[in-house]
Structure 1
Amino acid sequence: MVVLNGGSSSGKSSLTRELQPLLPGTWLRFSVDTLIDACPPQLLSQGGLDIAANGSIDVGEAFTRIEQCWMAGLAAMARDRRPPSHRRRLPQRAGRPRSLG
C-alpha cells in the first residue's frame, strides 16, 4: 500500500497513474474522491458531507461513519496479499443488503 497525502490538485492522482505500470504486480488507486463519488446524494448534505458554495466543508457523523468503514475495507484489501483465485468466496445471501446507517 502506498499512501499519498497532499493538497487538492497537487499531482497525487497523476503520480499514481504513472507509478501503476512501473510497480510489480497489480496496484489499485483509491482517493477520497472515489468515496465521495460512490455516496448517495442524501449523504452529501446536512449531517453527511456538506460542501458549501464558498468551498467550506462540514463533515458530519453520517459521512464519518461511512468513511471509517471504507478505510477499514481498503486496509483489509491491503493486508490480504493472496492472489484473488486463493481468496475465500463469501456465500451469496438472498434479500436486500444490510444498511450501514
Structure 2
Amino acid sequence: MVKIIYVEDNGQTHVVDVPRGASLMEGARDNGIPGIEADCGGACSCATCHAFVDPSWVDRLPAKQPMEADMLDFAHEADPIRSRLTCQIKANEGLEGLILHIPERQA
C-alpha cells in the first residue's frame, strides 16, 4: 500500500492507503474522497478526476502522456504545471506521501 494525501478545496485532508498498481483515481473513488468524480471510470475520456499536484511533487511524477494533456484542456481551472488526471497515475513506492489538491469543482 502507498499512502496518498488528498486535500479537499475546503482544506479537509484524507490520508488513504492505495494499493500498488492502482490508479490514484481508484484510490480516491474506493475511499469516498469528495471531489473526485471519475465519470469515465479511468479511461482518460473525461477530466472529472483532475487534481493539482503539490508543488514539491511535480518533478517526481511520470510525464503526462499526450492524451492526458489533451483531456486537461477540459478541466476546471487547469494549471499547466500542477494539473494531472488521477486516473493516469499509478500508485508505487516512489509516491509514498504524495499530496494532491482537489479543485473546487470538476469539469
Q: Common fold, TM-score beyond 0.5? A: no
When Rg is computed on C-alpha atoms for both structures, the one with the higher figure is 1
* The structure with more strand, counted as a fraction of residues: 2
TM-score category of the 2 structures, normalised to the smaller one: under 0.3
Q: Which has the higher contact order (CA 8 A, sep 6+)?
A: 2
Given the two structures, how large is their TM-score scaled by the length of structure 2?
Answer: 0.24
* The structure with more helix, counted as a fraction of residues: 1
Given the two structures, how large is their TM-score scaled by the length of structure 1?
Answer: 0.25
